[in-house]
Copies of this chain bind each other. A is one copy, B any other.
Amino acid sequence: MTVTIYDVAREAGVSMATVSRVVNNNPNVKPQTRKKVFEAIERLGYRPNAVARGLASKKTTTVGVVIPDISNAIFAEVARGIEDIANMYHYNIILCNADKRKDKEIRVVNTLLEKQVDGLLFMGGTVTEEHLQAFKSANVPIVLCATTDEHGSMPSVDIDHESAAFDAVSALTGAGHRRIAMISGTLQDPSNGYARFQGYRRALEAAGIPYDESLVRVGNYRYESGVEAMKYFLELDERPTAVFAATDEMAIGAIHYIQDFGLRVPEDVSVISVDNTRMASMVRPQLSSVAQPMYDIGAVSMRLLTKLMKKEQVDQLRVILPHELITRQSVAAAR
């Protein structure tokens, strides 16, 4: 049924070793025999079996990617960066959603390892001791992507979420705001959640503004939770004059609630966030936001992984990509 390297060898009148050589572009083949082999391949419609090759060579040219949720625009962007670079180096990607759930994360890491991936890109929630355990049992390189572990024992590429939040809030304090609310993500989340909250607190502190916990609401990153939080803030006796949201979606929810409430953005309330997704410029007023190079995070981490897989020298095992404040129209000076 299926045509194998052996069939090709017979058809071309050579040995399977020779066929293997031409298929793998080994230069040690006379052009003439190479031609013969190619013709036989053509005639028979031979297609190399990558699984057999993988078993024999112990290389599959595929890497595993564990991702929280591919339907989330942020991660999808990272994934695209990964795949583009992977493609460039002739790797394929096995993609697994793990929803930031530890059990699922560890499970997929193991099945990926069983599939003999040549390397692993891990994008997830908190990296726990158990994760490290699973990683250690791998004999292929693993790099953390858009996550970091506390110990700093793993290769990783990420941005500095704390500092990104700091910059966003500083834009607010810099504009003279003193009563600044935050719509946070869950504090259990180390990157989107806790780190951004910390950046908020540090920026407040740097501006000499006391922390007021009644000015912080925890959302779930989504639009609706942005409007909910804003609703709460606007009912406060002393309303905030500015709001920092941990994600664009929540910021947009906040903007819309402010507007529906009869107030104006940014004249009455300034809004800023971090993510700078496409949506940021698709709202009115356009949203100021800290841009995170998600595509690049994917691309750089995949590039790093290729180096590790090829055992090349790498100078930077832990890379932090720069973020950038994109100023649009949602922030005004405090009155």
Contacts and interface: CB of A to CB of B under 8 A. Distances in A.
A319 to B, nearest CB: 21
A231 B158 CA distance: 40
A201 B294 CA distance: 40
A92 interface: yes
Contacts of A45: 137
A14 interface: no
B71 A97 contact: no
B47 A51 contact: no
Interface stretch (A190-198, A276-284, A309-317, A320-328): A276-284
Interface in A47-101: 47-52, 54-55, 60, 62, 69-73, 76-77, 79-80, 83-84, 87, 92-97
A38 interface: no
A76 B158 CA distance: 22
Interface stretch (A107-115, A166-174, A177-185, A239-247): A107-115
A113 B47 contact: yes
B92 A115 contact: yes
A202 interface: no
Given A51-B116, A70-B80, A71-B79, A111 B96 contact: no
Give the number of times this chain occurs in the complex, counting copies: 2
A223 B95 contact: no
A34 interface: no
A306 B283 CA distance: 42
A62 B94 contact: yes
Nearest to A76: B76
B282 A252 contact: yes
Contacts of A96: 83, 87, 92-93
Interface string A125-169: 000000000000101000000000000000000000000000000
20 contacts: A47-B113, A48-B114, A49-B55, A50-B114, A51-B115, A70-B70, A70-B79, A70-B83, A71-B79, A73-B73, A76-B76, A83-B95, A84-B97, A87-B96, A92-B115, A93-B94, A94-B95, A253-B282, A260-B284, A283-B283
9 nearest interchain CB pairs? A71-B80, A76-B76, A95-B95, A50-B115, A50-B114, A51-B54, A51-B116, A71-B76, A71-B77
Given A51-B55, A71-B77, 9 more contacts: A48-B114, A51-B54, A51-B60, A55-B55, A83-B95, A92-B112, A93-B96, A253-B282, A279-B282
Interface of A: 1-2, 45, 47-52, 54-55, 60, 62, 69-73, 76-77, 79-80, 83-84, 87, 92-97, 110-116, 137, 139, 223, 249, 252-253, 256, 259-260, 278-279, 281-284, 295
